[in-house]
């Protein structure tokens, strides 16, 4: 059975035409993109690397990595965001191979094919996130890195990511996030280890509503990133 929630895929499909509008529902992704891109590039050295972006959506991160010289494959199961991502390549002149395929299926086809794998802001939208983590682990070369980001599960993240972002600040459409699907760093670390990935670095990504700026730092209580390395 496909590890996907049709309602989630439809939700992103319905918004897809606004993906590259920096003032749309995707504004937060636009604002965090340079931070996460720099962080990934610093660890991977993207130029010339084969990178897979899982749950790529309209291609903000995929294209950003291509701009840094990586050979990027972007996969998603929602058709419309992939269409938008392909169209945007015509504007930017970048090259990304976008495919509609489940990460578990790609792992059967191309085990160990990638120098690095990214899976950002996606795990909290799937029914079985540990299966995605395991597939990412299979897709990266031994010694290669896998990067995840998602939302922590605690009262503060409920307050900030659901009530604050969706209802008070109205940065995101209501219903964007389902609190029950948020993932504690300890859970993500456990799934990573079970899949043969060593967690190397956990960092937080925070939003300051006064300065309206995102930053990377120690506070992992709401949004966080985990960098892992596949055992050689």
Ligand X SMILES: C[S@@+](CC[C@H](N)C(=O)[O-])C[C@H]1O[C@@H](n2cnc3c(N)ncnc32)[C@H](O)[C@@H]1O
Mark the binding-site residues, compressed into ranges.
Answer: 36, 55, 76, 120
DSSP conformation letters of 159-193: IIIIIIIIIIS--S-TTS--GGG---HHHHHHHHH
Q: By CB under 6 A, what part of segment 112-151 binds ligand X?
A: 120-122, 125-126
Beta carbon nearer to ligand X, 164 or 231 = 164
User: Which residue's Cβ has the minimum distance to ligand X?
Assistant: 57
Residue 162 binding ligand X, by CB under 6 A: no
Whole-angstrom Cα distance, residue 212 to residue 166? 15
> Which residues sit opposite 208 in a β-bridge?
213
Task: Please count the residues of this chain forming the interface with ligand X, following the rule CB under 6 A.
Answer: 21
DSSP conformation letters of 85-98: HHHHHHHH---EEE
Beta carbon nearer to ligand X, 78 or 152 = 78
Residue 63 binding ligand X, by CB under 6 A: no
| Site mask for ligand X (CB under 6 A), range 42-61, x = bound | -------------xxx--xx
Nearest-approach distance from CB 78 to ligand X, in angstroms: 3
Nearest-approach distance from CB 26 to ligand X, in angstroms: 8
Beta carbon nearer to ligand X, 8 or 115 = 8
Compute CA 189 distance to the chain's CA centroid, rounded to the nearest angstrom: 16
User: Which sign, positive or negative, has the C-alpha torsion 43, 47, 48, 54?
Assistant: positive
Number of H helices, E strands in the chain: 8, 8
> Which residues sit opposite 52 in a β-bridge?
73, 117
- Where on the chain is the footprint of ligand X (CB under 6 A)? 3-4, 8-9, 12, 29, 55-57, 60-61, 76-78, 81, 102, 120-122, 125-126
């Amino acid at each position: 059975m496909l590890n996907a929630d049709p309602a989630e895929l439809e939700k992103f499909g319905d918004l897809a035409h606004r993906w590259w509008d920096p003032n749309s529902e995707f504004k937060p992704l636009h604002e965090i993109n340079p931070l996460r891109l720099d962080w990934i590039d610093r660890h991977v050295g993207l130029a010339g690397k084969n990178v897979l972006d899982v749950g790529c959506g309209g291609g903000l991160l995929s294209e950003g990595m291509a701009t840094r010289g990586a050979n990027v494959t972007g996969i998603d199961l929602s058709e419309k965001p992939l269409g938008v991502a392909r169209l945007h390549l015509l504007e930017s002149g970048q090259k990304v191979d976008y495919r509609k395929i489940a990460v578990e299926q790609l792992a059967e086809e191309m085990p160990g094919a990638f120098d690095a794998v990214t899976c950002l802001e996606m795990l909290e939208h799937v029914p079985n996130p540990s299966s995605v983590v395991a597939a990412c682990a299979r897709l990266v070369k031994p010694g290669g890195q896998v990067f995840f980001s998602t939302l922590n599960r605690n009262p503060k993240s409920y307050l900030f990511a659901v009530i604050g972002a969706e209802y008070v600040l109205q940065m995101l459409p209501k219903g964007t996030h389902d609190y029950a699907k948020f993932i504690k760093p300890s859970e993500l670390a456990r799934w990573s280890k079970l899949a043969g990935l060593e967690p190397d670095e956990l960092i937080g990504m925070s939003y300051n509503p006064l300065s309206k700026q995102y930053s990377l730092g120690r506070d992992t209580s709401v949004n966080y990133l985990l960098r892992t390395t596949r055992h050689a």
